Amino acid sequence: MCGIVGILRFDGRTVRPEEIQAMNDSIRHRGPDDQGALVEEGVGLGMRRLSIVDLSDSGHQPLFNENQSVAVIFNGEIYNHRDLRSRLAVDGHRFRGHSDTEVLVHGYEQLGARELTSRLSGMFAFALYDRARRRMFLARDGFGIKPLYLRRTAGQLSFASEIRALAFDGEGPLSVDPTFTRTFLRVGYVPSPSTAFAGVIKLAPGTLHEIDLVTGETRVETFYRLAPAQIEETNTDALLERLRELLNASVRRHLMADVPMGLFLSGGLDSSALTLFANQHAAPPKTFSIGFSSSDRGDETHYAALVARRAGNENVRIDLGPANLDDLDPIVDALEEPLADSAVLPLWYLCRGTAEHVKVALSGEGGDEVLGGYARYFWGPIVDNLQPFLLKHADGVLGITARLPSRSLGIFNVARRAAKVATSVQLDTPGRYLAWFDLFTAEERRALVGEGPDGAVERYESLFDSARELRLDPVQRLQYVDCQTMLLDNLLMKADKLSMAHSLEVRVPFLEPRLVEFGLGLPSVNKIGAMRDKRLMRQLLQPRLGLRLANRPKRGFEIPVDRWFREPAADALRDQLPRGPLVSELGFDAGAIKALIERHLGGEDIGRKLFALTALERWAHRFVV
């Protein structure tokens, strides 16, 4: 695991070593073990290394082929590098060490960039420099597990694992593009390929950019496209066995490391499965769980401890303590992009505590998207089928739900979902999908930031069009879109940024291509039902976990934001929202912000909305003011 940076100039200017050094220094946390650089004429490459595989100097980057005509800087892990290495060695390639990075330069020599990237299994972002051909290749793994940001100007292309490094590329400071705010108020993040910064985009997952270093011309190829496996077998026992094989193989590959490893364990299905399968291939690794010092409903460490005892793992409980919203500032700085997800607080402390024990941790991101873990996979297709009926009765449903308390658990969770259904039935499928995520209603958004373009709509319409071209069923469509939106730009982004802020590598075994494709291809009946999600996964784990643990309802990191925003300690934050950079820099309406605060203090539980505004306010304070 590393961080990489680079500057490519096409206008005759040279790249100065101090520019690459400044970019490198800004991401030191991503790789405190080593650094390297290559600067020549209009090309500058830099890297910071967190040593995980092959701890010797032979893993130093930039890494070259035998005659130094090809160089690479690499962030991530290639889990099938041993297989690739063996084949390349048969063809006469000589390796100087055991680093997975080295297969890239020799693989490029043997296969070319397009074929090489299509054969890689792992999480990665890399820059490969062909000195003789004056070509640079940039690539990112098919699910976007590892980030890569691009900044293009008239005579230059710069890139980096984190946005902050681009501010040192010689093209001046970064500026904010305030048009992202309308989309943010809907989904709570900035959908790819955009960012909140003008002129900065994310390299699309599964793509390879070939850049002519003389002219600056760029050719883009896609080497991985998400699509479901064709599953003819419908026998449950056979499907269970296939799921067991795929998950076991993925976990085994993800245990590749020359340093201590651990697992995040919440006691939920995904992390429990990773724990059980990891134990089949190594001495039981330590597991790490986040708990709350108070009795808030988000503390599930007793379930994690129970799973660890049954599996035979040591469980380390990391206490969040009396966390409050003042803890947001270092988290916002690490994330770089605005994110309205209160789960960043426990994840930050989980990563920090885990990094005190190990360098690598397995985590369950992707399990819900792959195996059917969201209620919308059940409700979404029902709404599609019953749209004519629901259109007739939408007003009645809204009248009922409006009189129910605004809570997020139990029967009131059903009420909240029913209200979303009733307000979205007149929309097309992408619109209804977005309505499930809406943090703020259309009226609230207009009051806060006025009318204007919403970049989310075009992005989601394009994805649903692609899903229709693939002839996906209603559940598959939602999985397909989730993998390329919420998973990519929220879950994976925050997992990478918050872990690397503590020099911790997080790996996600559920995002192995064959496993993902199998999950998408599963019949809907094996994924979701009226009373149960992840049906096949629960059946797989029941013999090992028992009925109680295998059939627990899904719970995420639940933070008591409703209570926090009513406590005296939040007075200053509540006062700051209508007077700070949300209003002065991003153009929010102070009166609309005050109205939301008054609604919450008056008893309406809209802490999620206030958290979103607070996270954005702290982001603006850090990156705009």
What CATH number is given to the structural domain containing 65? 3.60.20.10
In a domain, 597, yes or no: no
Q: Same domain for 205 and 125?
A: yes
The pLDDT tens digits of the residues spanning 476-504 come to 999 999 999 999 999 999 999 999 999 99
The answer to whether residue 128 is domain-embedded is yes
Q: Taking 50 as the threshold, does the pLDDT of residue 267 lie above it?
A: yes
Residues 71, 62 contacting (CB under 8 angstroms):
yes
Domain contains 92: yes
* Same-domain pairing of 216 and 242: no
pLDDT at position 416 = 55
HSE, CB side, 13 Å, CA atoms: give it for residue 300.
23
Among the listed residues 457, 450, 397, 407, the one whose alpha carbon sits nearest the alpha carbon of residue 587:
450
The total number of structural domains that make up the chain: 2
The DSSP bridge partners found for residue 36 are 47
pTM summary value: 0.93
Do residue 442 and residue 359 come from a single domain? Answer: yes
Residue ranges making up the domain that contains 132: 2-222
pLDDT above 90 covers a percentage of the chain that reads: 73
In a domain, 348, yes or no: yes
Count Cα atoms within 13 angstroms, Cβ side, for 57: 0
Domain boundary among 222, 254, 289: 222
- Give me the pLDDT at residue 425, please: 57
Mean pLDDT, the chain, rounded, equals 90
In a domain, 609, yes or no: no
* φ and ψ of 266, to 5 deg: -100, -15
CA distance 21 to 493: 25
The answer as to whether 603 is a domain residue is no
113 and 42 share one domain? yes
Looking at the DSSP bridge assignments, the partners of residue 262 are 286, 361
Shared domain for 269 and 236, answered yes or no, is: yes
What number is the average pLDDT over the span 349-361? 96
Residue 466 falls inside a structural domain: yes
Q: What is the rounded CA–CA span in Å between residue 476 and residue 470?
A: 10
Which two tokens mark 624? Answer: 């705009």
Specify the pLDDT at position 419.
Answer: 59
Domain final position from 181, 207, 222 = 222
Q: Who wins on pLDDT, 409 or 22?
A: 22
Contact (CB, 8 A) for 263 and 278? yes
Q: Are residues 366 and 515 in the same domain?
A: yes
- Whether the CB-CB separation of 163 and 243 falls below 8 Å is answered with no
Residues 6+ apart with CB under 8 A from 389: none
Task: Record the tokens describing residue 278, joined without a space.
Answer: 């990891």
Contact 507, 354 (CB under 8 A): no
pLDDT > 90? residue 608: yes
DSSP 172-224: ----B-TTHHHHHHHHSS--TT--SBTTEEEPPTTEEEEEETTT--EEEEE--
Report how far apart the first and last C-alpha atoms of the chain are (Å, whole number): 32
Q: Which range has highest mean pLDDT (92-106, 242-256, 539-553, 562-576)?
A: 242-256
Same domain, 145 and 234: no
Shared-domain flag, residues 160 and 12: yes
Residues 398 and 479 in one domain: yes
Residue 504 lies in a domain: yes
Q: How far is CA 518 from CA 298, 313, 364, 521, in A?
A: 31, 29, 17, 5
Residues 10 and 100 in one domain: yes
Contact in structure between 71 and 134 (CB atoms under 8 Å): no
Q: Please check whether residues 99 and 210 belong to one and the same domain.
A: yes
Confidence (pLDDT) at 509: 98
Same-domain status, 413 and 504: yes
